[in-house]
C-alpha cells in the first residue's frame, strides 16, 4: 500500500512540475492553459506505470544484485584483493582516466572566476568574495611554476594535477565506503566506472574554479559523516579519524563559503533525529569535541586570521540571492502598486530600483538569474540594520506573496524542472590570455584536435540536455527527483528516521544550498552528483543496530 501511495504521489508531483508548473514558469506566463490537460494526463499515466515498476522491481533487484552468482563471484575476487589494494586500484583507474583531459586542456580550464583571482593572487588578497584559501593556492602554484619553470602556466598545470589527485582520491574513498556498507558490488563497480568515464568529472577536475576542491572535500566529508552516523563507536576507535575529520571538514568549509552551512545543518539535523539516544552521548565525548573543532577553526580563520591579514568578509548580498531576487521582481513588475514610503525603502536597498526596467540589457531583470539584481544590492545599508531589512522584506512579501513565490520558482527553475537546461552546461570557458592580469598562454601537451573538440562539444553543446529521457540525467533538476525517489525507496527500511534518513543529510544539505544559489547552474549541482551513490547505502542495506 505504501509503495502504491508513493508511486501515485510522485507521479502526480512530477507531472505537475513537468507539464504544468515548469512550462508556465519558463515562459513567465503564470496562467493555466487548457492545452496542458492532455500532456498532464499522458505524463501522469506513464509516470505512474514507471513508478509501479520501480517500487515493485527495485526491492527484488536489490536482492538479486546482492545475492546473484555474478555478485558473489566478484565479491570473492575483491576479498582476495583486499580493501587497501582495491582502493588503490580504483584511485589509479579514476585518475588515469582523466589524464587525457589534463594533456589536452593543459594547463587547465581558465574560467571566469580566474580573471579576478589571478590579480588578487599575484597582487594581494583583499576580500573573501572568492575563498581566500583557493586564491592563495592559485598564487602559490603560479609563483612556483614561474620560479621553477619560468612560466605561470606550469604552476597552474601542476595545480590541475593536484586537483585531479585529491578528487580521484575522494571518489575512490566513496566507492570503498559503499563496499564496506554492503551495497551490492555491481553498484560499487558502476560508481567507480562512472566516476572515471563521466566527462564532466574529467573537465571539472582540471578547471580553475573553487568548486573542484570543494567538491572533493565535501565527498570526503560525506563519507566520514555517514560512518559517524552509522556507527560512531567504530568510527572513534580508529584514532586517525579524529585527526583527519577536522581537517577535511575545515577544507570543505574554506574552499566554498557556504560549506560551513552544510556542515552545521548535517550535525544539527543528526542531533535532532537522535534525541531519543542523547543519553549515549557521554560515551562519545571525544568524537563530539572533534565534531565541534572545525566550527571553531573556521571561526578563527574567518575572524582573527582575516583581521590580521586585512581581508574583508564577502558581502552579505552573496547569501541573499533569494530575497533580493524576490524584492527586485516586485520592483520590476509591480512598482506602480508600491507606496512612496515602500519605494524609498526599496531604493535604499536596491540601487536606482525604479529605473531598473530602463537599464541596459545586461542590467535588465532576469527571472532566472539573480546576479544582476544581486550586483545592485546595497549591502552597507543592510548591515546598518538587518532587522529593518527583514521586517520590510516580510511585509512586502505578505503584500506580494504571488510575486515572491514566482520569483523563487523562477530562480530555482533548473533545480526542479527537468525540461530546463539554460544554465546546465559544464563551465568550459577558456578566456583569452590577455584577459588576465598576467597573460596566461595555452600550452597543450597533447595537441589532439579530435579529443579537444570532444570535450568542447560534450561540455558546451545542448545535445545531452535536449535529448528526451537522456536529458533527465544531465540537468540539475534531476537532483531533486533522484532525492525524492531515493527517500521513498528507503522509507520501509527499519528505523527510517533515526538510522536511514541521517545517511541522506549531506544530499539534503547540498540541495538546500543549491536552491539558494544565484542561478540553477550545473556547477552548483555537481557535488550532489558526486555524492549521489550515498543514497544506495540507505536504499540497499539494513541499518546497523
pLDDT in tens, 275-286: 888 877 777 899
SS3 172: helix
Q: 3-state SS string over 494-515?
A: CCHHHHHHHHHHHHHHHHHHHC
Residue in 160, 181, 159, 171 with CA at minimum distance from that of residue 217: 171
Which stretch, 78-82, 316-320, 470-474, 507-511, has highest mean pLDDT?
507-511
Separation in Å, CA 378 to CA 39, 149, 317, 323, 404: 44, 45, 8, 13, 20
- The C-alpha angle with vertex 375 and arms to 374 and 379, in degrees rounded to 5, equals 75
Mean pLDDT along residues 153-164: 94
SS3 377: strand
The sign one gets for the Cα dihedral 536, 272, 171, 108 is: positive
CA 435 from chain center: how many Å?
Answer: 28
Residue 455 banded pLDDT, cuts 50, 70, 90: confident
Residue in 228, 102, 231 with CA at minimum distance from that of residue 167: 102
Cβ neighbours of residue 308 under 8 Å, at least 6 residues apart? Answer: none
Describe the crossing of helices 522-531 and 210-230 by its angle, rounded to 10 degrees. 30
pLDDT in tens, 49-81: 999 988 887 766 655 555 556 666 666 776 777
Contact (Cβ atoms closer than 8 angstroms) between residue 122 and residue 155: no
Phi (first) and psi of residue 312, to 5 degrees = -80, 145
Q: What is the pLDDT of residue 545?
A: 56
Mean pLDDT along residues 111-134: 84
Mean pLDDT along residues 392-412: 95
Residue 362 banded pLDDT, cuts 50, 70, 90: very low
**Burial status of residue 402 (CB atoms within 10 A of its CB: 0-12, 13-18, 19 or more):** exposed
Separation in Å, CA 44 to CA 3, 49, 51, 481: 16, 9, 10, 15
CA 395 from chain center: how many Å?
Answer: 32
The sign one gets for the Cα dihedral 83, 88, 91, 94 is: negative
Mean pLDDT along residues 492-513: 94
CA distance 268 to 509: 11
pLDDT in tens, 222-271: 999 999 999 999 999 999 999 999 999 999 999 998 899 999 999 999 99
Q: Which tops the pLDDT comparison, 247 or 199?
A: 247
> What share of the chain in percent tops pLDDT 70?
91
> 335-339 contacts: CB < 8 A, separation 24 or more?
337/400
Q: What is the pLDDT of residue 357?
A: 43
Residues in the chain: 545
Please provide the average confidence, as pLDDT, over all residues in the chain. Answer: 87
**DSSP of 17-61:** IIIIIHHHHHHT--S--GGGHHHHHHHHHHHHHHHHHHHHHHHHH
Residue in 93, 218, 77, 251 with CA at minimum distance from that of residue 168: 93
CA 307 from chain center: how many Å?
Answer: 29
For residue 107, whether the previous peptide bond is cis, meaning omega lies within 30 degrees of 0, is: yes
Q: What is the pLDDT of residue 359?
A: 41
Separation in Å, CA 337 to CA 99, 323, 333, 341: 58, 19, 9, 12
Separation in Å, CA 102 to CA 150, 206, 455, 516: 20, 6, 11, 32
Q: Which residues are registered as beta bridge partners of 377? A: 350
CA distance 510 to 261: 9
Residue in 462, 455, 540, 450 with CA at minimum distance from that of residue 503: 540
475: pLDDT strictly greater than 90: no
CB atoms within 10 A of CB 96: 12
Q: What is the pLDDT of residue 63?
A: 54
525: pLDDT strictly greater than 90: yes
Residue in 137, 100, 98, 97 with CA at minimum distance from that of residue 120: 137
Residue 345 banded pLDDT, cuts 50, 70, 90: confident
494: pLDDT strictly greater than 80: yes
Residue in 261, 387, 367 with CA at minimum distance from that of residue 318: 261
The secondary structure element, H or E, covering residue 3 is helix 2-15
Contact (Cβ atoms closer than 8 angstroms) between residue 297 and residue 246: yes
Largest pairwise CA distance in the chain? 77
**Burial status of residue 453 (CB atoms within 10 A of its CB: 0-12, 13-18, 19 or more):** exposed
Separation in Å, CA 20 to CA 418, 422, 470, 479: 12, 18, 21, 19
CA distance 526 to 517: 13
Residue 511 banded pLDDT, cuts 50, 70, 90: very high
DSSP classification of residue 315: P
Contact (Cβ atoms closer than 8 angstroms) between residue 163 and residue 213: yes
Global pTM reads 0.93
Amino acid at each position: 500500500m505504501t509503495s502504491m501511495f508513493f508511486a501515485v504521489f510522485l507521479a502526480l508531483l512530477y507531472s505537475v512540475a513537468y507539464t504544468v508548473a515548469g512550462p508556465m514558469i519558463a515562459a513567465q506566463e503564470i496562467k493555466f492553459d487548457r492545452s496542458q490537460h492532455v500532456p498532464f494526463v499522458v505524463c501522469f499515466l506513464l509516470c505512474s506505470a514507471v513508478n509501479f515498476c520501480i517500487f515493485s522491481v527495485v526491492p527484488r533487484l536489490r536482492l538479486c544484485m546482492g545475492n546473484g552468482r555474478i555478485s558473489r563471484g566478484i565479491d570473492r575476487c575483491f576479498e582476495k584483493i583486499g580493501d587497501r589494494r582495491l582502493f588503490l586500484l580504483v584511485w589509479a583507474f579514476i585518475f588515469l582516466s582523466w589524464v587525457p583531459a589534463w594533456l589536452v586542456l593543459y594547463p587547465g580550464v581558465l574560467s571566469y572566476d580566474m580573471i579576478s583571482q589571478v590579480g588578487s593572487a599575484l597582487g594581494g588578497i583583499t576580500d573573501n568574495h572568492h575563498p581566500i584559501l583557493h586564491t592563495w593556492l592559485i598564487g602559490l602554484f603560479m609563483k612556483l611554476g614561474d620560479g621553477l619553470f619560468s612560466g605561470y602556466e606550469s604552476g597552474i598545470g601542476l595545480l590541475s594535477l593536484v586537483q585531479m589527485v585529491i578528487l580521484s582520491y575522494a571518489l575512490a574513498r566513496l566507492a570503498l565506503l559503499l563496499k564496506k556498507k554492503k551495497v551490492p558490488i555491481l553498484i560499487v563497480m558502476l560508481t567507480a566506472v562512472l566516476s572515471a568515464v563521466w566527462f564532466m568529472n574529467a573537465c571539472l577536475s582540471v578547471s580553475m574554479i573553487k568548486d573542484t576542491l570543494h567538491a572533493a572535500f565535501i565527498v570526503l566529508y560525506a563519507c566520514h559523516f555517514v560512518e559517524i552516523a552509522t556507527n560512531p563507536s567504530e568510527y572513534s576507535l580508529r584514532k586517525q579519524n579524529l585527526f583527519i575529520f577536522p581537517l577535511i571538514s575545515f577544507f570543505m568549509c574554506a574552499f566554498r563559503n557556504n560549506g560551513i552551512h552544510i556542515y552545521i545543518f548535517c550535525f544539527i539535523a543528526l542531533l535532532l533525529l537522535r534525541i531519543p539516544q542523547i543519553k549515549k552521548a557521554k560515551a562519545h565525548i571525544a568524537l563530539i569535541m572533534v565534531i565541534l573543532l572545525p566550527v571553531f577553526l573556521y571561526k578563527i580563520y574567518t575572524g582573527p586570521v582575516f583581521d590580521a591579514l586585512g581581508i574583508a568578509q564577502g558581502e552579505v548580498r552573496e547569501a541573499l540571492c533569494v530575497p533580493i531576487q524576490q524584492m527586485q521582481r516586485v520592483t520590476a513588475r509591480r512598482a506602480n502598486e508600491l507606496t512612496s514610503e515602500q519605494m524609498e525603502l526599496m531604493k535604499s536597498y536596491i540601487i536606482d530600483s525604479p529605473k531598473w526596467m530602463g537599464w541596459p540589457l545586461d542590467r535588465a531583470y532576469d527571472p532566472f538569474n539573480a546576479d544582476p539584481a544581486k550586483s545592485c544590492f546595497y549591502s552597507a545599508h543592510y548591515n546598518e540594520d538587518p532587522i529593518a531589512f527583514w521586517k520590510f522584506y516580510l511585509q512586502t512579501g505578505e503584500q506580494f506573496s504571488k510575486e515572491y513565490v514566482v520569483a523563487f520558482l523562477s530562480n530555482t527553475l533548473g533545480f526542479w524542472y527537468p525540461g530546463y537546461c539554460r544554465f546546465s552546461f559544464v563551465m568550459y570557458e577558456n578566456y583569452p590570455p590577455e584577459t588576465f592580469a598576467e597573460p596566461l598562454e595555452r600550452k597543450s601537451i597533447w595537441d589532439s584536435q579530435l579529443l579537444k573538440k570532444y570535450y568542447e562539444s560534450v561540455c558546451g553543446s545542448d545535445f545531452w540536455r535536449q535529448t528526451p529521457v537522456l536529458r533527465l540525467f544531465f540537468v540539475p533538476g534531476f537532483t531533486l527527483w533522484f532525492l525524492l525517489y531515493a527517500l521513498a525507496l528507503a522509507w520501509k527500511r527499519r528505523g527510517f528516521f533515526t538510522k536511514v534518513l541521517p545517511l541522506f543529510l549531506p544530499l539534503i544539505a547540498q540541495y538546500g544550498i543549491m536552491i539558494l544559489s544565484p542561478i540553477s547552474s550545473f556547477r552548483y549541482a555537481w557535488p550532489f552528483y558526486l555524492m549521489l551513490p550515498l543514497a544506495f547505502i540507505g536504499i540497499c542495506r539494513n541499518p546497523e543496530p
